Structure 1
Amino acid sequence: MTIAGFVNLAMMATAAAAFHFNGHTGVADLDQAYMTLEPLLSHAAATIFGLSLIAAGLSSTVVGTLAGQVVMQGFIRFHIPLWFRRAITMLPSFVVILLGLDPTRILVMSQVLLSFGIALALVPLLIFTSNAKLMGDLVNTRWVRGIGWAIVAIVVSLNGWLIVGSLLGVD
Structure 2
Amino acid sequence: SLASTSVGAYAGSEIMGGLLHVRVPLWARRLVTLIPALIVLWVYPNPSWALVISQVALSFGIPFAIIPLTWYTASKDVMGDYRDGTAMKIAMAAVSALIVALNFALIYLTFTGVDMPA
TM-score scaled to structure 2, two decimals?
A: 0.76
1:158 matched residue in structure 2: 102
Q: What is the alpha-carbon distance in structure 1 between the residues aligned to residue 42 and residue 105 of structure 2? A: 30
Q: What is the alpha-carbon distance in structure 2 between the residues aligned to residue 103 and residue 134 of structure 1? A: 43
> Relative contact order, CA 8 A, sep 6+: which one is greater?
2
Q: Which amino acid aligns with 2:55?
A: Q
Q: What is the alpha-carbon distance in structure 2 between the residues aligned to residue 66 and residue 100 of structure 1? A: 25
- Asked if structure 1 preserves the Cα contact closer than 8 Å seen for 2:40 and 2:54, the reply is no
Q: CA RMSD in A?
A: 2.5
Q: What is the alpha-carbon distance in structure 2 between the residues aligned to residue 137 and residue 143 of structure 1? A: 15
SS at match of 1:150: helix
SS at match of 2:23: coil
Q: Which residue among 56, 75, 79 is the counterpart of 2:24?
A: 79
- Asked if structure 2 preserves the Cα contact closer than 8 Å seen for 1:122 and 1:152, the reply is yes
- Asked if structure 2 preserves the Cα contact closer than 8 Å seen for 1:126 and 1:145, the reply is yes
Q: What is the alpha-carbon distance in structure 2 between the residues aligned to residue 98 and residue 127 of structure 1? A: 38
Unpaired segments ≥5 residues, structure 1:
1-55
- Cα displacement string for residues 106-134 of structure 1 (whole angstroms, at most 9, x for unaligned residues): 32122123224333222111111111232
| 1:128–1:146 distance in 2 versus 1, CA, 3 Å | same
Count of residue pairs brought into register by the alignment: 114
SS at match of 1:170: coil
Q: What is the alpha-carbon distance in structure 1 between the residues aligned to residue 76 and residue 40 of structure 2? A: 47
- Asked if structure 2 preserves the Cα contact closer than 8 Å seen for 1:116 and 1:159, the reply is yes
Point out the structure with max Rg over C-alpha: 1
Q: Which residue among 51, 55, 59 is the counterpart of 1:107?
A: 51
TM-score scaled to structure 1, two decimals?
A: 0.56
Q: What is the alpha-carbon distance in structure 1 between the residues aligned to residue 16 and residue 90 of structure 2? A: 33
Unpaired segments ≥5 residues, structure 2:
none
Query: Is 1:124 paired with 2:68?
Result: yes
Q: Which amino acid aligns with 2:23?
A: F
| 1:89–1:122 distance in 2 versus 1, CA, 3 Å | closer
- Asked if structure 1 preserves the Cα contact closer than 8 Å seen for 2:41 and 2:50, the reply is no
Q: What is the alpha-carbon distance in structure 1 between the residues aligned to residue 78 and residue 16 of structure 2? A: 24
SS at match of 2:61: helix
